[in-house]
């Protein structure tokens, strides 16, 4: 196998692993917060339905954590196996955030175990809720530290390069690089948003399947409300991300926006196709790119004409940007309408067609996470460490990466199908109606 093939298969395998892992990682970051909110609301309102919501979500969460651990371990292995030259160069720097990410996970896992095994052990439910705080903090900080590694790859600093080696290394300066604030904030907040909409989709699906139980209605109301808050927050942070790109990675912003020539009063290009370098059938929003980049409708935005051809990212990232933004805006609208509809008692928010839209919102949010991640990674091409090391210089020359790709793809297929089967059986065999009756019988009173 030629080195080009090794690079190609290494990229495909890394993309496959990250694309699969990001689903479970996103749920792993967002669901603990959702469990905590549900339990807190249940305690505050003395409402057993919300307490039960937290209990059932926690059971399902354990399965996603288990799969996330396997795929996260695979990423760690593949960093060393597939990108040895990168690890040799940058390993001393990224070792700290990688270690801190592992520490955050252990912190989360320990308290998650205690939390799960102490249901009904506390007379005061608030004490049990306190156990969930380190779980949510640990989950979120796992995302923070691993995203710092990615931010460093986009904006490397905290070292000097002498004769191809990194010297004068400052891991903390490297961690707190210019890309870190917007990247970390965007990853964490979109994880919260996506988890809320995935759980909302499950609640809407149960209502569509004929279960008109108040439990599912409360679940839908809570998750859509939380989803609205975090989808608006995601949009605001997305605006900050655009300003970061304009300042530090203008080639990525220009490629994502098909902004070929440096000019002021730049329009935002949505959709369209490229025909011999000419943009056709696109929606152009006047001045919007200048506003996104510099908060000034007449500001000059750097175009692709300012960069060497071999440093321009693939232009198909434009479509990734379009998909991410379209879904994000749609989810703001969907959840906003739902909240208004409940407040103003609009009938359509409880209609079948609107609940179908909410069900579709779950997988759509996952797609937005995937396209956003691909945009971040592909938009950095051709660099693995921006401005310092190219992807082809970082990859292994091992001729058997294609076999590894097949084996790992098989593993992810088994894990994906297995987790879906386990989760569906777990909740089918223990429907909420039955669980409410059982708990009613246990308590010997009416919990409704």
Instruction: Summarize pLDDT for 215-269 with one digit per residue, the tens.
Output: 888 888 899 999 999 999 999 998 888 888 888 888 888 888 888 888 878 888 8
Beta-bridge partner residues of 300: 264
Closest CA to 223 of 27, 401, 411: 27
* Rounded-to-integer distance, Cα 362 and Cα 167, Å: 46
Residue 15 lies in a domain: yes
Give me the pLDDT at residue 1, please. Answer: 42
Q: Three-state DSSP class for 273?
A: strand
Cα separation values, 234 from 115, 154, 186, 194, Å: 30, 20, 6, 10
Both tokens of 404, joined, read 């590894």
Q: Three-state DSSP class for 323?
A: helix
Work out the average pLDDT over 30-50.
Answer: 87
Domain of 75, in residue numbers: 3-248+314-443
Q: Before 382, cis peptide (omega within 30)?
A: yes
Q: Are strands 278-280 and 273-275 parallel, antiparallel or unpaired?
A: antiparallel
Residue 277 lies in a domain: no
Give me the pLDDT at residue 444, please. Answer: 53
Beta-bridge partner residues of 268: 285
Q: What is the pLDDT of residues 164-184, one digit of tens each?
A: 677 788 888 888 888 889 999
Strongest mean pLDDT among 145-149, 212-216, 258-262, 431-435 = 145-149
Residue 297 lies in a domain: no
Residue 260 lies in a domain: no
Q: Before 149, cis peptide (omega within 30)?
A: no
Element (H, E) at 308: none
* Rounded-to-integer distance, Cα 144 and Cα 142, Å: 5
Q: How many domains does the chain have?
A: 1
Residue at token pair 């904006």:
155
What mean pLDDT value characterizes the chain? 84
* Rounded-to-integer distance, Cα 155 and Cα 216, Å: 45
Residue 367 lies in a domain: yes
Select the more confidently predicted residue: 82 or 212.
82
Residue 82 lies in a domain: yes
Residue 44 lies in a domain: yes
Confidence of residue 447 (pLDDT cuts 50, 70, 90): very low
């Amino acid at each position: 196998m030629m080195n080009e093939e090794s690079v190609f298969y290494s990229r495909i395998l890394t993309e496959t692993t990250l694309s699969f892992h990001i689903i479970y990682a996103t749920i792993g970051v967002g669901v603990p917060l959702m469990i905590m909110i549900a339990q807190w609301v249940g305690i505050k309102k003395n409402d057993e339905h919300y307490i039960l919501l937290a209990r059932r979500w926690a059971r399902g969460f354990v399965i996603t954590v288990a799969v996330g651990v396997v795929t996260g371990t695979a990423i760690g292995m593949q960093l060393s196996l597939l990108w040895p030259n990168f690890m040799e160069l940058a390993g001393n720097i990224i070792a700290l955030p990688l270690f801190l990410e592992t520490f955050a996970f252990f912190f989360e896992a320990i308290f998650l175990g205690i939390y799960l095994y102490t249901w009904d052990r506390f007379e005061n439910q608030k004490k049990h809720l306190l156990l969930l705080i380190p779980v949510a903090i640990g989950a979120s900080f796992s995302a923070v530290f691993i995203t710092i590694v990615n931010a460093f790859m986009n904006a490397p600093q905290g070292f000097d390069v002498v004769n191809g080696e990194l010297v004068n290394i400052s891991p903390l300066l490297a961690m707190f690089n210019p890309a870190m604030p917007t990247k970390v904030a965007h990853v964490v907040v979109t994880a919260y948003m996506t988890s809320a909409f995935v759980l909302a989709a499950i609640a809407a699906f149960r209502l569509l399947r004929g279960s008109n139980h108040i439990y599912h209605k409360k679940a839908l109301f809570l998750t859509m409300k939380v989803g609205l808050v975090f989808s608006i927050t995601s949009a605001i942070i997305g605006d900050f991300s655009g300003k970061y790109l304009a300042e530090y990675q203008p080639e990525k912003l220009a490629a994502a926006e098909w902004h070929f020539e440096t000019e002021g009063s730049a329009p935002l290009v949505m959709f369209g196709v490229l025909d011999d370098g000419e943009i056709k059938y696109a929606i152009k929003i006047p001045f919007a790119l200048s506003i996104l980049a510099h908060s000034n409708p007449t500001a000059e935005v750097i175009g692709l004409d300012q960069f060497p051809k071999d440093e321009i990212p693939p232009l198909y990232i434009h479509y990734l940007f379009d998909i991410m933004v379209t879904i994000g805006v749609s989810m703001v609208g969907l959840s906003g309408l739902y909240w208004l509809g409940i407040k103003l008692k609009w009938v359509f928010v409880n209609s079948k067609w609107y609940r179908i839209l909410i069900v579709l919102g779950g997988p759509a949010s996952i797609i937005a996470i995937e396209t956003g991640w691909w945009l971040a990674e592909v938009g950095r091409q051709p660099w693995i460490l921006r401005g310092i090391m190219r992807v082809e210089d970082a990859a292994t020359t091992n001729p058997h990466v294609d076999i590894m790709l097949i084996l790992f793809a098989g593993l992810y297929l088994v894990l994906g199908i297995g987790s879906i089967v386990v989760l569906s059986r777990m909740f089918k065999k223990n429907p909420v109606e039955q669980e409410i009756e059982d708990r009613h019988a246990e308590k010997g009173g009416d919990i409704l």
